[in-house]
Amino acid sequence: MIRFENVDKSFKKKIIFRNLNQAFEEKGVFCILGPSGCGKTTFLNLAAGLLLPDKGRIIKSSDKISYVFQEPRLLPWKNIRDNLVYASGNHLSRKEKTEKAEWLMSLLEISEAAFKKPVQVSGGMAKRASLGRALLAEHDILFMDEPFSSLDPDLKERIISRIIPWLKNSLVLLVTHDYLTAQMLSDKVLYFTQPPVEIREINRNEIKNAVNLINNKIQ
């Protein structure tokens, strides 16, 4: 569970959230759609505790969180496999962690990069490694900020369908601009307006329109 209670947040003079109330009570994948720069990442960072609200409070039912950042944020001196294992927490033995990491790498089609350093792999692979790291880490709540943005459509579809089971037992907040991602993964879809943000829940059959609206605005 995550609850935003009367949250205000602004950067310099720009008000992003004003008296925001929003609750995520049950498990499931909540997709967050909205125009660029409207505050979706800020919303995740507030929920994750990386940012503090100017006013109001944010309550989480668990501190066991995990995050797929927009950039991979891997440790440059560790290879891909060790980067996955690094963040995996203490709930598994070393051997189990490694095995699970290897299994995840094969799902994400990055096994060949297991013993390479982040600088030696492509951006897309690094991104998938950071997705693997977040899935492997012990968590009740998972934040994902455009996790599939640099993947080509076929690979994206394969990977999304493979990770669905991994998202089942968590509360997932997923920021995306992408129709396929939202369509395949979301249990509920939230639409963020331009700041000061208002959040509207939309139906799954409205996703296409919303995504088109956002992407047309970008162009």
Q: Look up residue 129 and give its amino acid.
A: A
Q: Any contact of residue 148 with other proteins (CB under 8 A)?
A: no
User: Between residues 35 and 118, which has the closer beta carbon with respect to other proteins?
Assistant: 118
Please identify, among the stretches 35-43, 63-71, 146-154, 203-211, the one whose residues bind other proteins according to the rule CB under 8 A.
63-71
Query: Can residue 17 be called a binding residue for other proteins (CB under 8 A)?
Result: no
Looking at the Cβ atoms of 82 and 102, the one nearer to other proteins is 82
Choose the stretch contacting other proteins; rule: CB under 8 A; options: 7-15, 82-90, 159-167, 199-207: 82-90
* HSE-CB of 216 using CA atoms within 13 angstroms: 6
Q: Which is nearer to other proteins, 50 or 164 (CB)?
A: 50
Strands 171-175 and 141-145: parallel
Beta-carbon contacts of 214 under 8 Å, excluding residues fewer than 6 positions away, are: 33, 34, 35, 36, 177
Task: Say if CB 197 and CB 39 are below 8 A apart.
Answer: yes
Q: Count interface residues toward other proteins (CB under 8 A).
A: 19
Q: Does 71 bind other proteins (CB under 8 A)?
A: yes
Rg (C-alpha) for the chain, rounded Å, is 17
Least distance from other proteins to the Cβ atom of residue 81, Å = 14
Q: Which is nearer to other proteins, 88 or 181 (CB)?
A: 88
Q: Is 18 in the site for other proteins (CB under 8 A)?
A: no
* Residues pairing with 103 in the sheet: none
- Report 158-217 residues binding other proteins (CB under 8 A): none
Among residues 7, 16, 38, 48, the one that binds other proteins under rule CB under 8 A = 48
DSSP annotation of 92: S
Q: Is 116 in the site for other proteins (CB under 8 A)?
A: no
**Is the CB of 18 or the CB of 116 nearer to other proteins?**
116
Q: Give the type of residue at 170.
A: S
Which letter does DSSP use for residue 152 in this model? -
Coil, helix or strand at residue 47:
helix
Task: Please check whether residue 54 is in contact with residue 204, taking contact to mean a CB–CB distance below 8 angstroms.
Answer: no
- Write down the least CB distance from residue 73 to other proteins, Å: 4
Alpha helix segments (H runs only) across the chain: 40-48, 80-86, 94-107, 123-136, 153-167, 179-185, 207-218
Binding site for other proteins (CB under 8 A): 48-50, 63-67, 69, 71, 73, 75, 77-78, 86-87, 89, 133, 137
